[in-house]
């Protein structure tokens, strides 16, 4: 199984901050990497697929980058509605696997 | 637009089975895999399995082999997830997801809460 290691597991940031979350795969995943945002009591929402493609309707403050085994989600200017938990997921091989999540909290 | 609508919450006793549904619309149902993922209270996301609606080809996570069955009804564009021999650890929200290979993004259902309790 491909292990997905997300860091940090949590972070505190202020409105307007630039935030970066990283995800490392235990082997190459051909850029088949997605990022999801989840708020308490809600279904996850897709942000990024294929490592860097923005899901339709998602604001451009979210961006994804990386290749091979190392990937990054960046939020360019954190807003109150962005406080949530973020997950990465590889869909290159079975079983599909998720990172452990990054909880973004208000400083 | 792609829409996945899941069935309502279920409460089941240990040892029973649960069957949840996921009705798809807004795209050609048979073209893309439908996956199921679950999330136990306060925990992360766990992939369970997937089905290809065009031919019912299935693949399951090792953990769920023998307990999980995915089926589909092409006449109603609906996928069903049945989990048997339920135990308390199966209490979770179950999500259907599609679109990984569509090139148009990944879409989630709203989730089905399954509670296993005596």
A56-93: per-residue pLDDT in tens?
Answer: 999 999 999 999 999 999 999 999 999 999 999 999 99
Instruction: Give the tens place of pLDDT for each residue, A50-64.
Output: 999 999 999 999 999
What residues of chain A lie within 8 A of the CB of B104, using their CB? 56
B40 touches chain A (CB under 8 A): no
A45 touches chain B (CB under 8 A): yes
What residues of chain A lie within 8 A of the CB of B100, using their CB? 32, 34, 49, 91
A94 touches chain B (CB under 8 A): yes
| Chain centroid offset of residue A7 CA | 10
CB contact under 8 A, A56 and B62: no
């Amino acid at each position: 199984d491909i292990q997905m290691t997300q860091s940090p597991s949590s972070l505190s940031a202020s409105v307007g901050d630039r935030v970066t979350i990283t995800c490392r795969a235990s082997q190459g995943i051909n850029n088949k990497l997605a990022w999801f945002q989840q708020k308490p009591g809600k279904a996850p929402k897709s942000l990024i697929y294929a490592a860097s493609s923005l899901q339709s309707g998602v604001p451009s403050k979210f961006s994804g980058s990386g290749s091979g085994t190392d990937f990054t989600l960046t939020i360019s200017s954190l807003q109150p509605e962005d406080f949530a938990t973020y997950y990465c997921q590889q869909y290159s091989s079975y079983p599909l696997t998720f990172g452990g999540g990054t909880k973004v909290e208000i400083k | 637009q792609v829409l996945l609508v899941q069935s309502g919450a279920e409460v089941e006793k240990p040892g029973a089975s649960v069957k949840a549904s996921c009705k798809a619309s807004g795209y050609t149902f048979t073209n893309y895999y439908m996956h199921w993922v679950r999330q136990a209270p306060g925990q992360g996301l766990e992939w369970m399995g997937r089905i290809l609606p065009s031919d019912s080809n299935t693949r399951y996570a090792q953990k769920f082999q023998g307990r999980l069955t995915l089926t589909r009804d092409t006449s109603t564009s609906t996928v069903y997830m049945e989990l048997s021999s339920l135990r308390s650890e199966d209490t979770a929200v179950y999500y259907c997801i599609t679109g990984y290979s569509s090139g148009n993004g990944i879409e989630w259902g709203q989730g089905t809460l399954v509670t296993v309790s005596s």
